[in-house]
Structure 1
Amino acid sequence: MDVDANAVGAPAKRAMTVIRVCLGVVIAGLVISGVTAFPLREELTLGSELLRSIGAASWLPGLAGWVDRVADALAATGEQYPFLAYGTDWLAFAHLLIAVAFVGPFRDPVRNIWVTQWGLIACAGIVPLALIAGTVRGLPLGWQLIDISFGLLAAIPLTIALVLTRRLERQRLPVISGVHEVSGSET
């Protein structure tokens, strides 16, 4: 297929840049949440100590109390049942694998549009999961809302990426190795 050099143009290049920035934000968020899920016990202990050292119990008693409770639970289970942390290790690993899935649309958003759509479905699924499982497991509503916010925040760059990807798709431009290139024929 012959493609006019002007067909790729600045708008398509800008769209690719914005798509990649949006997907990069999602990938970074997943990697950070994955990596930080490995040392939960240490993080919650540190968070509890930090909240106590700044006197947060007096102005955020619910938060400080909840963090203390979770830190104590992780310490107790870590001492008596260390194998339970293996479940959060798998959670962390899953976050890292999900991040890798977004490399496909980062390289070629049109061909891998389904990953972006799947990401938005996952973001929507966070809401009922947090509300139902959070309530069943006795999590405070505020904590459930924090969990929901991750899905809502990730949906913003994913929606932008999806809209721009659909624009690129309508232009039917060839994408070679994830970068728009103009050649005399389709390879």
Structure 2
Amino acid sequence: MIEQIILKRIRLLLLFFIVSLFLSGLTAIPVAPELRWLLKHLPADSMAATLFQIVLEAYLEVQNKYSFLLYGYDWLAFAHFVLAILFIGPYRNPAQNIWVIQFGLIACVLVIPFALIAGYLRGLPLWWRLGDCAFGIIGFAVLWPCYQLIKRLQTIQSFPFSPVQYAWL
């Protein structure tokens, strides 16, 4: 009974994580429409609007002159889709595939220094880099309880009978 409850919680967390990864990948494809939508909904005089306007202009210039560079966005989307597929393993069999969760936790931690360093080198403002760091923090916040639940599930599965059934020994 408790095993089924734990398994259900693990699967809900992983389903959220998988869908989030997939949707995040989808956002890497229609960049120009997304930027236009953002600009339409941000105050025109805000720092964010100014930066997003520059990003849109640069994106459109690259699209017009050097469209092959946008192939990187396609690969970014593809990487998110592949990572989402990777987490189907622990969704199906969490105890056997706990290594995928460990991999995910490590990747989430590494997002933070990568975003801070690469963002700095590319001249991105701190608020943008912190926004990117939030992806690692949120991912970790989803995967950590999942990891703990899998460890608990492994313990339960290693003892096929309840402790009460061992009391007579």
2:40 — aligned with what?
Answer: 49
Question: Secondary structure at the residue paired with 1:124?
Answer: helix
Which AA in structure 2 matches 1:123? C
* Alpha-carbon displacement from aligned partner over 1:50-88 (angstroms, at most 9, x marks no partner): 33xxxx134xx1111111111111011111111111011
Which AA in structure 2 matches 1:16? L
1:153 — aligned with what?
Answer: 138
Q: How does 1:21-170 map to 2 (within 5 A)?
A: 21-51=12-42, 56-58=43-45, 61-170=46-155
Specify which structure has the bigger relative contact order, considering alpha-carbon pairs within 8 angstroms and separated by 6 or more residues: 1
Return 5+ residue gaps in structure 1 as ranges.
1-9, 175-187
Return 5+ residue gaps in structure 2 as ranges.
160-169
Q: State the distance in 2 between where 1:140 and 1:123 align.
A: 21
Q: State the distance in 2 between where 1:169 and 1:125 align.
A: 27
Percentage of identical aligned residues: 41
1:183 — aligned with what?
Answer: none
Deviation at 1:154, TM superposition (A): 1.0
Q: State the distance in 1 between where 2:138 and 2:87 align.
A: 16
Which AA in structure 2 matches 1:81? Y
Q: State the distance in 2 between where 1:173 and 1:65 align.
A: 57
Q: State the distance in 1 between where 2:38 and 2:60 align.
A: 13
Please give the root-mean-square deviation of Cα atoms over the aligned residues, in Å: 1.3
Q: State the distance in 1 between where 2:90 and 2:153 align.
A: 12
> TM-score scaled to structure 1, two decimals?
0.82
Q: Give aligned pairs, total.
A: 159
Which AA in structure 1 matches 2:119? G
Q: State the distance in 1 between where 2:70 and 2:47 align.
A: 25
Which AA in structure 2 matches 1:50? H
Which AA in structure 2 matches 1:142? W
Deviation at 1:173, TM superposition (A): 5.5
* Alpha-carbon displacement from aligned partner over 1:16-53 (angstroms, at most 9, x marks no partner): 011011111110110001011111122112322333xx
> TM-score scaled to structure 2, two decimals?
0.90
Segments of 4+ moved more than 4 angstroms? none
CA contact (8 A) 1:48 1:71 kept: no
